[in-house]
């Protein structure tokens, strides 16, 4: 229990990995001797922040996972998130939703998410961008170049008061929204304010084979604490 609040974690691992170009979903590929999803779970467990953790897994791979409560995912990310929310067995006040294919989430980021949600009700993990952003609605013609200082890249975790997240999902279903790729979008649609928690470049998402190669390089660099699996090596936080 954290400051009187019971905290639940949802690890989303229901993807089929179509963009990865493999018959094995990316979360089940090996990374440094362990499967990708195991890193995030270890960080959750070893953080000591969580009263319950739910793994939301594709039905064809449920038998491949363990270490926490497992529920079958849905047809979309939105449905899987909602099923994870309904998968808690006890009272949960704060819900942390994280992509299992972001293996290098640190305890610092998890703690900042929980603290932010306790104080504000909803937070999103974000980082800035060094690249110029362009506005090209159809992907062929640039209509504008916005100030990049005003835009952030959204990561996960995304963390909410449970009642806010339930309200947002149920409202979305009532109005026919069924394939939102982001829980924060649903919470914003419900009229809630979302604060920003600082993320890290290391908290990247493994989507392609190239990303998996980068993750292997990150492990070999020694910047990830392999002994605990839940943080950066001394002197490398936030790099």
For the stretch 172-202, pLDDT in tens is 999 999 999 999 999 999 999 999 999 999 9
Query: pLDDT category, 2, cuts 50, 70, 90?
Result: confident
Q: What is the CATH number that goes with domain 7-124+155-220?
A: 3.90.550.10
Match 């600082």 to its residue by tokens.
Answer: 198
pLDDT in tens, 8-43: 999 999 876 565 666 789 999 999 999 999 999 999
Encode pLDDT of 102-127 as tens digits. Answer: 999 999 999 999 999 999 999 999 99
Global pTM reads 0.92
Q: For 46-84, write each residue's pLDDT tens digit.
A: 999 999 999 999 999 999 999 999 999 999 999 999 999
The pLDDT tens digits for 142-167 are: 999 999 999 999 999 999 999 999 99
pLDDT, residue 14, reads 85
Q: Which of 16, 163, 6, 5 is nearest to 80 (CA)?
A: 16
**What residues does 12 pair with on adjacent strands?**
56, 99
Check residue 202 and report its DSSP letter: T
Domain boundaries, given as residue ranges, for the chain: 7-124+155-220
CA distances from 220 to 25, 27, 216, 223, 228 (A): 23, 19, 6, 8, 15
Find tokens 């090596």 and name the residue: 233
């Amino acid at each position: 229990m954290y400051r009187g609040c019971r905290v639940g974690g949802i690890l989303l691992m229901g993807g089929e990995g179509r963009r990865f170009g493999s018959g094995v979903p990316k979360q089940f590929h090996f990374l440094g001797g362990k499967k990708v999803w195991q890193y995030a779970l270890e960080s959750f467990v070893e953080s000591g922040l969580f009263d319950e953790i739910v793994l939301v897994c594709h039905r064809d791979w449920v038998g491949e996972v363990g270490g926490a409560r497992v529920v079958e995912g849905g047809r979309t990310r939105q449905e899987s998130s909602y099923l994870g929310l309904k998968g808690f067995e006890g009272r949960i006040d704060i819900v942390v939703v994280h992509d299992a294919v972001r293996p290098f989430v640190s305890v610092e980021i998890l703690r900042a998410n929980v603290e932010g949600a306790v104080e504000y009700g909803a937070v999103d993990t974000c980082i800035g961008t060094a690249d110029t952003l362009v506005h090209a609605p159809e992907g062929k013609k640039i209509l504008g170049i916005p100030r990049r200082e005003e835009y952030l890249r959204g990561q996960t975790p995304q963390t909410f008061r449970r009642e806010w997240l339930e309200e947002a999902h149920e409202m979305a279903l009532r109005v026919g929204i069924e394939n939102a790729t982001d829980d924060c979008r649903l919470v914003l649609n419900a009229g809630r304010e979302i604060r920003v928690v600082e993320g890290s470049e290391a908290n990247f998402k493994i989507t392609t084979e190239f990303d998996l190669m980068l993750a292997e390089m990150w492990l070999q660099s020694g910047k990830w604490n392999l002994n605990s699996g839940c943080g950066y090596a001394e002197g490398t936080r936030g790099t």
